[in-house]
């Protein structure tokens, strides 16, 4: 078998079970790789007697570039200059090696693909091109996340494929200032009331977010299989750990009223029931008009719930547990050994929040 050997093609080579696969490189004559069930070995065949020499194993002993250079030395030719992979190929290899949570992986993949559309070799990407790509991102938060993603990517490429990072020396975009918007009691009442007038499923999603304080994706992508009585158990939240969400009676009633379909999701996509709801932008604009609450994002609702829990005297660690946060404020030894899940405390806290929410919904307005 003959094939132009690249890092991607070598990684994907797999023999039939119990058989050996021998692949010859189309670029360097006499050079190739032998692939067994559990190993891959570089080889070169040289001289009139067609002597076979094993150069080393991939990737533990020799990379493709080093193996090819060593083969050329054996063959008596001049070693070829190092050839860096293209940005898309290097990006694919990097993402394959990235050991993070699925959501972190998805975000990194999106950032590297959307904001850095280079197609040529990575050793040809210049400092200026990286800076211009980051400067072209209008949103401060997105620009900062993209900068961190591409900087980490290039650091991974050194010294694998490039001698230095073209992102080196670029200053991070202006630091993102976290939002502090919190809904007033009147605004909460207006949003809740407007949710009754917004078409399903966004109205129900809105109320569940206000009752539970969870992330948009955690409620919007809920599956029926996650619900058991008065609790939701997410297999994995943004922090990459299982997360238990208590459902107060009002939340349980909202879920009980949701029509069951063949979809695994409580809120299926209108076009494809195998996917979750995705109409946030359109329906959120409609909700804003109906409620006349401006300048508040869906994430601000989550912050509002956390603030109200604080007003109710709920302990910080319980609020963190409700929100599914992995607090960076606690020491490493506490994070390792403090495994209490606060299930009962979370239930009591959200019952208190439900009672307060009901009270303010019936209270007279301040206008």
Task: Give the number of other CB atoms < 10 A from CB of residue 216.
Answer: 16
> What is the spatial distance between Cα 139 and Cα 142, in angstroms, rounded to a whole number?
5
- The CATH superfamily assigned to 2-75 is Integrase, DNA-binding domain (3.30.160.390)
Identify the bridge partners of residue 3 per DSSP, sorted by sequence position. Answer: 25
pLDDT tens across 62-93, in order? Answer: 888 888 888 888 887 655 555 788 999 999 99
Query: What does the alpha-carbon distance between residue 360 and residue 184 come to, in Å, rounded to a whole number?
Result: 10
Residue 209: strand, helix, or coil: helix
Residues found in the chain = 367
CATH superfamily of 185-362: Intergrase catalytic core (1.10.443.10)
Whether the pLDDT of residue 18 is over 90: the answer is no
Is the pLDDT assigned to residue 200 strictly greater than 80? yes
pLDDT of residue 237: 79
Is the pLDDT at 183 greater than 50? The verdict is yes
The token pair at 31 is 């050079």
Q: Measuring CA to CA, which residue among 277, 214, 206 is closest to residue 244?
A: 214
pLDDT tens readout for residues 100-155: 888 889 999 999 999 999 999 999 999 989 999 999 998 888 899 999 999 999 99
- What average pLDDT does the segment 254-258 reach? 95
Q: Where are the domains of the chain?
A: 2-75, 87-157, 185-362
Rounded Cα distance between 152 and 299, Å, is 27
**Residue 163 neighbours by CB distance under 10 Å:** 10
Query: Residue 182 in 3-state DSSP?
Result: coil
Q: How many CB atoms lie within 10 A of CB 27?
A: 12
Average pLDDT, the chain: 88
- Of 75, 12, 3, 61, which is closest to residue 32 (Cα–Cα)? 3
Residue with tokens 């040809």: 124
Report yes or no: 86 and 119 within 8 Å, Cβ to Cβ. Answer: yes
Look at 167-176, 222-231, 259-268, 312-321 and tell me which has the smallest mean pLDDT: 167-176
Taking 70 as the threshold, does the pLDDT of residue 164 lie above it? yes
pLDDT for 80 equals: 52
Look at strands 21-25 and 2-3 and give their pairing.
parallel
Confidence of residue 178 (pLDDT cuts 50, 70, 90): low
Q: What is the CA radius of gyration of the chain?
A: 28
Q: How far is CA 81 from the centre of its chain?
A: 37
Any long-range contacts for 85-88 (C-beta under 8 Å, 24+ apart)?
85/6, 85/7, 85/8, 85/121, 85/122, 85/161, 86/119, 86/120, 86/121, 86/122, 87/116, 87/118, 87/119, 87/120, 87/121, 87/122, 87/125, 88/118, 88/119
């Amino acid at each position: 078998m003959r094939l132009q050997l690249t890092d991607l093609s070598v990684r994907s080579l797999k023999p039939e079970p119990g058989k050996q696969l021998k692949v010859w490189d189309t670029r360097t004559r006499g050079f190739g790789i032998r692939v067994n069930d559990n190993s891959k070995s570089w080889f070169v065949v040289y001289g009139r007697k067609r002597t076979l020499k094993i150069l080393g194993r991939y990737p533990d002993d020799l990379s493709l570039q080093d193996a090819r250079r060593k083969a050329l030395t054996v063959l008596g030719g001049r070693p070829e200059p190092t050839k860096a992979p293209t940005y898309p190929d290097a990006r694919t290899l990097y993402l394959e090696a990235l050991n993070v949570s699925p959501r972190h992986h998805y975000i990194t993949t999106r950032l590297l693909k959307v904001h850095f559309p280079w197609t040529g070799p990575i050793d040809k990407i210049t400092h200026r091109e990286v800076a211009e790509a980051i400067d072209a991102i209008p949103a401060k938060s997105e620009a900062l996340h993209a900068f961190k993603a591409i900087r980490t990517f290039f650091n991974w490429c050194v010294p694998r494929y490039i001698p230095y990072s073209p992102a080196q020396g670029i200053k991070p975009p202006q630091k993102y200032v976290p939002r502090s918007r919190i809904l007033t009691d009147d605004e909460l009442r207006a949003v809740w009331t407007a949710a009754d007038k917004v078409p399903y499923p966004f109205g129900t999603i809105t109320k569940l977010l206000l009752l539970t304080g969870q992330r948009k994706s955690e409620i919007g992508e809920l599956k029926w299989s996650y619900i058991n009585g008065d609790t939701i158990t997410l297999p994995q939240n943004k922090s990459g750990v299982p997360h238990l969400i208590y459902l107060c009676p009002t939340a349980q009633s909202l879920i009980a009223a949701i029509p069951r379909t063949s979809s695994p999701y409580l809120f299926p996509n209108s076009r494809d029931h195998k996917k979750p709801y995705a109409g946030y932008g359109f329906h959120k604009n409609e909700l804003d008009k109906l409620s006349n609450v401006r300048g508040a994002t869906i994430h601000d609702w989550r912050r509002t719930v956390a603030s109200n829990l604080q007003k109710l005297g709920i302990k910080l660690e319980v609020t963190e547990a409700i929100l599914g946060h992995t607090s960076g404020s606690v020491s490493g030894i506490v994070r390792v050994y403090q495994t209490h899940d606060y299930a009962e405390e979370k239930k009591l806290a959200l019952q208190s929040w439900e009672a307060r929410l009901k009270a303010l919904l019936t209270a007279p307005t301040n206008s």
